[in-house]
Structure 1
Amino acid sequence: MEKPAMDPESLARQLRKPEGEDGIKVGLAMNKSNAAIYNMVLDFLGLQPADSVLEIGFGNGYFIPALFEKEPTIRYTGLDMSETMVEEATRENRTRIAEGTVELHLGVTSSMSFPDGAFTKVFAVNVLYFWEQPDVALKAIHRVLEAGGELVLAIRSAASMKQLPFSEHGFTLYSAESAAALLEKNGFSVAAVITAVEDAKAPQGGGATIQFENICLRGIKI
């Protein structure tokens, strides 16, 4: 007998912090549901030779190889608060971890212990919604970026997310304007904002077909 789908609140909890067998399944589903927005980020990051990159919320690490396809000389560090996802990503990227080009860490943004100015670029895809204290998280990111370093945040617009029942449970939603204002409040100059509308598809958790509006913002540390 097929296991019934998760209720919206349970799905929201797993999207925030995937755990156990259900978390692994949600992580695999996110590989598909996040493909378009992640591809958007890959172009928007503008990776340069020898960039030191921090990704916050890497999930099961499925998209890490795509960064190296864009620029093979980067050094990648990942931070995720899900032990399940760290384990999955470690298994999927074990060769690069052994080579020393990938490091994966368990932890939360607000209390990460990386040195000041350690990274040229920091990015996060569909993570901003979950920061209970976004000012604290952004100040922590500001600290670990080098002078003039770049933060790229990718989210789906509030209007898009409101179509999803699980977004009522623990998600803080943003428009492009409100996300940009948050960056500017916390020591970043917003250098670029781009949007794109995905093809219509059935959302994770089921329901009517919808179209997501994806937003990418680039903030420069000032």
Structure 2
Amino acid sequence: MNNQETVPSSSEGSREWGDGRPADIMTVATIRVILAAARVLLLAQGYQPTTVSEIARAVRMAPETIIRYFPSKERLYAAILREDLDALLRALHASRQPAADPLANLLHAHDAAAEFVAEHRHIEGFQLLTEAILSRCALSEANAEAAHNIVSHFERLIEEGMACGQFRPMHARRTAALQLGVCFGCARPFPLPPSEAQSPMGNAEMRRAFHDLIARSVLDRRAL
């Protein structure tokens, strides 16, 4: 595998390489095993201490086998990040309620994002996910596109609110990015061990305050 090839992502159904060649079933299964083991080690140890050799031992493969699919640890982490970005986007789509008004759907989306981010208790994972979405430092072009789609989901909700007159006029994308920054800051767990850590967004009072902040940032003053 050379540096021009891309790993089949979960969003693509893991059916093709980036250049259109089909990925066989054994290849897809091997990649999934590698990613699952790497995720466990990265969660437990962090990005810097984890080595390809450790991941290889965890899956009982030669390091050369890992390198065949992921030429660098960065490429491996990029694939894990892509899984997270895809999962977050699915959670956002699932939070949308057709009968709800734009503000309700915007708050549902923020709740879904906060709950998802709060589960990423490891420092590297939280920082990388945040940077990928807000700064597009996503380790790969495909991940940058996925991060763009996440911000776009919130942007569309804000545009819908403006179109129906519920929201005041604003720069929708800039507002979406700013709101996500606040959302991620509120969702980040306290610096405690995973078994003890709690997200501030799990607190009902904190959640209500966050909802009020989001509402005030978008609603027409006449609706307040």
Normalising by structure 2, report the TM-score.
0.30
Greater percentage in strand = 1
Structure with the higher helix share, 1 or 2: 2
Which one has a bigger Cα radius of gyration? 2
Structure number with the bigger relative contact order (C-alpha 8 A, sep ≥ 6) is 1
